[in-house]
Amino acid sequence: MKKIILGIFALFLPLMTMAQTLKTPTLDDLMWGGKNYWNLVPRNTHTAWWGDALVKTEVERLVLLSDAEGRMLKKPRTLCTLDDLKAALDTTGRNHIRNLIGAIFPDKTRPVVRLYSSREIFVYNWETRKVEWRLKQPHMTDNDDFSDASRSQAYTRDFNLFVQTADGREHQVSTDGSRNLLYGTSVHRDEFGIRKGTFWSPDGTKLAFYRMDQSEVTDFPLVNTMVSADNRIAEAAPEKYPMAGMTSHKVTVGIFSPATGKTVWLDLGDPTDRYFTNLSWSPDGKRIYLFELPRSQKRADLVAYDAETGARLRTLYTETNERFVEPQNPIVFLPWDSKKFILQSERDGFNHLYLFDTEGRMLRQLTSGAFEVLKLYGFNTREKSLIVKTNESGHIRENLYAVDFKSGRRTLLDNGRGVHNAVLSASGRYLRDTWSAPDTYRVSEIIGTSKPAQKLLPLDKFDSPWKEYSIPTVENGTLTAADGKTPLYYRLVKPVGFDPTKKYPTVVYVYGGPHATNVKASWNYQARPWEYHMANKGYVLFVLDNRGSGDRGFEFESCTHRRLGEIEMADQMKGVDYLKSLPYVDTDRIGVHGWSFGGFMTTNLMLTHNDVFKVGVAGGPVIDWKYYEIMYGERYMETPQSNPEGYAQTSLLNKADRLKGRLQIIVGYNDPVCVLQHSLAFLRACTDAGTQPDYFVYPGQQHNMVGRDMIHLHERITRYFEDYLK
């Protein structure tokens, strides 16, 4: 018997020794902003397409990996080095170039690369080893937008818009810019897929741009306390913030021609309470297309305009919905037929691709099914196929497909696992595919998009950077939503050194709002580094994507309309029911944490289910939707005037007296997204009600913490649960 015991001990000794030698990771090891994070995580292999040839862009050299026919070179060839560039550029006089990672190859037929030095944009020919063209970079600019077709650059300075042409001449497009009147910036608070404010024509000879008049929009009184040593008095830094139901800004669209120096304005009509988004040019540069929405967002019109005169031509397509219509993507013209384009719409309940002609006739639906087209990358022009990413292989997977233009048949291009992101070559024949799966940290490879799909070249494969550290077990599963039928996906992170006979404190991490998801079939099911940190401290972490979150179709996301927080909480409580069924979860020690919409959910759960949640940490929370901005808030809640009951029912000010557990609210003092009025109004309501939340402010930070403050933030969150939940 003694020998058997000794034998068993010897069998497990290597495992015990290994467990003892694993390091316990700190937040500095696990999180961006941490002192050791970048020493651990593997670097990406940076590449760029030169037509259909792949180039590896390193700090000190550009290396050709494949030729234009997709043949991988047995011996990769160096095209040029950083020293070559420095010699050709003449880097004296502080005209420095530090690396080649951001190289762009603007001409697939010529051996040239576009790069930036500290003072110039330039084009270098690696065969002649000479700089072919150079343009001095303007100083103190924002919103830079370069056209390779014309080698012209648009940019903003002091609220005005400028264009510098290839010959170095600067054209001032506007002169009356101010913080009330903005040119060339994104508008509508970056909703409706808007990320920029300038749009070059295909040949680069004309520039469409946004002009936003926000003179009637109320200032929210932000204050800058991070002043210089010479000026010790804090400065006013007001933010134009249109709250739900209040006056919005007015947007117009101009088209500037550097050749004439003149601007033509689109005949949009009265822009009051209207949104203009997803601007696109026709391939010949003669037309501009916009999606236009009324303030209610229950209708979207695709409208064509004459780019020469600005005249309104026709409405090509109209979509309506009693909840909302939310166009997120501009139309895309077929590269082989300039009179046909692809339009993305949720009209059948899921985001799919539709083929239209320029007369506005819908020719056919190109994709269909109970799944989402997540991205249209472009086209394989030789095969006449569309290259897309969808989640048809599973709600939490994202895979790459080629869609045959004629038949609509979809061909899987990748391995069918995990979450994939791609960069398409010029002709669309090849993809750089970077993917991960629950058991695979990161893989990059080149795959062909022609039939049959083929893997051409493995670029890199990286294991977890924390193999020498104690990292928890992460599980994935589904449970049924509060409607009794809809499957919801969850992630469960067990404590390091998990003992099923013990009872563990448990933290529910939540977001729960539109567009976002927390659970994907990427590495460790998209677990966050802070979850690893907490698991090492002996916590169970639970994350559930409730109804109202993204990538599951229109009904799944919009069922919360006019009552944000109610259905979402009901689903989260189904997750809590599941936790209570687990023998190792201590049901007397359940906490909750989330940020932004998740901060709203955290506070709501703490107040509504105060008998369940003992501790909560709410970051940047929405407290009352009437304090949130128009575009997002009114889409999901309509206006306070049209939905007073909904606003009253979802306001957390009315629940301040229900706080029983420990709740800490954390905000960025200069948050322009979820302004300070939310949390301050809640503190006032709690004071009036006699309840006691805790509060912490990060001066100088906005909606999300950056830099070293990320580490401080997560140390603070951790400490709060350690103090009051453990």
pLDDT tens column, 476-508: 999 999 999 999 999 999 999 999 999 999 999
Instruction: Give burial (CB, 10 Å; 0-12/13-18/19+) of 398.
Output: buried
pLDDT of 251 over the 80 cut: yes
| Pair 176, 275 in one domain | yes
| Residue 299 counted as domain residue | yes
Rounded to a whole number of angstroms, the distance between the first and last alpha carbons of the chain is 41
Determine the Cα angle at 213 with ends 210 and 218, to 5°: 135
293 or 72: which carries more pLDDT confidence? Answer: 293
Which residues have a Cβ under 8 Å from the Cβ of 5 and sit 6 or more positions away?
none
669 φ/ψ angles, rounded to the nearest 5 degrees:
-65, -30
Q: Determine the Cα–Cα distance for residues 282 and 206; give it in Å rounded to an integer.
A: 12
Question: 100: pLDDT confidence band, cut at 50, 70 and 90?
Answer: very high
- Give the predicted TM-score (pTM) of the model: 0.95
> Residues 157-184: what's their mean pLDDT?
98
Burial 408-421 (b: 16+ CB within 10 A, else e): eebbebbbebbbbb
Which of 277, 302, 330 lies at the terminal end of a domain, its last residue? Answer: 330
Task: Tell me what pLDDT residue 13 has.
Answer: 39
Task: Tell me what pLDDT residue 5 has.
Answer: 37
| Residue 392 counted as domain residue | no
Q: Which three-class secondary structure state does DSSP give residue 580?
A: helix
Specify the DSSP element, H or E, that contains 543.
Answer: strand 540-544
pLDDT of 9 over the 90 cut: no
620-676 confidence digits (pLDDT tens): 999 999 999 999 999 999 999 999 999 999 999 999 999 999 999 999 999 999 999
606-624 confidence digits (pLDDT tens): 999 999 999 999 999 999 9
| Pair 128, 153 in one domain | no
| Pair 94, 200 in one domain | no
| Residue 548 counted as domain residue | yes
> Residues 268-291: what's their mean pLDDT?
98
Distance of CA 138 to the CA centre of its chain: 29
Specify the DSSP element, H or E, that contains 414.
Answer: none
| Pair 579, 530 in one domain | yes
DSSP 615-670: EEEEES----GGGSBHHHHHHHH--TTT-HHHHHHH-GGGGGGG--SEEEEEEETT
Q: Which amino acid is at 121?
A: I
| Pair 176, 92 in one domain | no
pLDDT of 293 over the 60 cut: yes
Task: Tell me what pLDDT residue 21 has.
Answer: 85
Burial 326-347 (b: 16+ CB within 10 A, else e): bbbbbbbbbeeeeeebbbbbbb
CATH of the domain at 181: 2.140.10.30
Question: 229: pLDDT confidence band, cut at 50, 70 and 90?
Answer: confident
Which residues have a Cβ under 8 Å from the Cβ of 103 and sit 6 or more positions away?
48, 55, 57, 62, 113, 114, 115
Question: 151: pLDDT confidence band, cut at 50, 70 and 90?
Answer: very high
pLDDT of 346 over the 50 cut: yes
Task: Tell me what pLDDT residue 44 has.
Answer: 87
pLDDT of 11 over the 50 cut: no
For residue 680, give both structure tokens.
């301050």
> Residues 533-538: what's their mean pLDDT?
98
| CB-side neighbour CA atoms (13 Å) of 147 | 23
566 or 457: which carries more pLDDT confidence? Answer: 566
| Pair 51, 171 in one domain | no
Which of 276, 298, 330 lies at the terminal end of a domain, its last residue? Answer: 330
303-332 confidence digits (pLDDT tens): 999 999 999 999 999 999 999 999 999 999
Residue with tokens 């009209």: 347
Task: Tell me what pLDDT residue 230 has.
Answer: 81
The partner residues of 302 in beta bridges, in order of sequence, read 291, 317
Instruction: Find, among 313, 270, 269, the residue nearest to 289 by Cα.
Output: 313
Percent of the chain at pLDDT above 90?
Answer: 92
Residues with a catalytic annotation lie at 596, 671, 703
Instruction: Find, among 210, 217, 200, the residue nearest to 174 by Cα.
Output: 210
Q: Which amino acid is at 252?
A: T
Question: 7: pLDDT confidence band, cut at 50, 70 and 90?
Answer: very low
Domain count, the chain: 3
| Residue 278 counted as domain residue | yes
Q: Determine the Cα–Cα distance for residues 157 and 184; give it in Å rounded to an integer.
A: 10
| Pair 157, 287 in one domain | yes
| Pair 62, 190 in one domain | no
| Pair 316, 173 in one domain | yes
> Residues 47-64: what's their mean pLDDT?
97
> Residues 273-281: what's their mean pLDDT?
98
> Residues 350-376: what's their mean pLDDT?
98
| Residue 684 counted as domain residue | yes
HEC letters along 338-355: EEEEEEEECCCCCCEEEE
Q: Determine the Cα–Cα distance for residues 714 and 165; give it in Å rounded to an integer.
A: 47
pLDDT of 362 over the 80 cut: yes
| Pair 551, 699 in one domain | yes
| Pair 191, 125 in one domain | no
> Residues 533-552: what's their mean pLDDT?
98
Task: Tell me what pLDDT residue 447 has.
Answer: 93
Q: Cis link prior to 514 (omega < 30° from 0)?
A: no
Q: Determine the Cα–Cα distance for residues 642 and 537; give it in Å rounded to an integer.
A: 48
Instruction: Find, among 573, 580, 586, the residue nearest to 547 by Cα.
Output: 573
Task: Tell me what pLDDT residue 457 has.
Answer: 80
Question: 92: pLDDT confidence band, cut at 50, 70 and 90?
Answer: low
| Residue 505 counted as domain residue | yes
Distance of CA 43 to the CA centre of its chain: 21
Task: Tell me what pLDDT residue 652 has.
Answer: 98
| Residue 197 counted as domain residue | yes
| Pair 118, 165 in one domain | no
CATH of the domain at 709: 3.40.50.1820
Residue-averaged pLDDT of the chain: 95
Which residues have a Cβ under 8 Å from the Cβ of 258 and sit 6 or more positions away?
152, 163, 165, 169, 171, 205, 207
233 φ/ψ angles, rounded to the nearest 5 degrees:
-90, 130
Q: Which domain holds residue 209?
A: 147-214+250-330
Pick from 375-389, 457-471, 530-544, 553-567: least confident: 457-471
Which residues have a Cβ under 8 Å from the Cβ of 442 and sit 6 or more positions away?
42, 434, 435, 436, 460, 461, 462, 523
> Residues 363-385: what's their mean pLDDT?
98
Task: Tell me what pLDDT residue 574 has.
Answer: 98
| Residue 27 counted as domain residue | no
Which of 278, 302, 330 lies at the terminal end of a domain, its last residue? Answer: 330
17-30 confidence digits (pLDDT tens): 444 589 999 999 99
Q: Where are the beta strands (DSSP E) in 571-623?
A: 585-595, 615-619
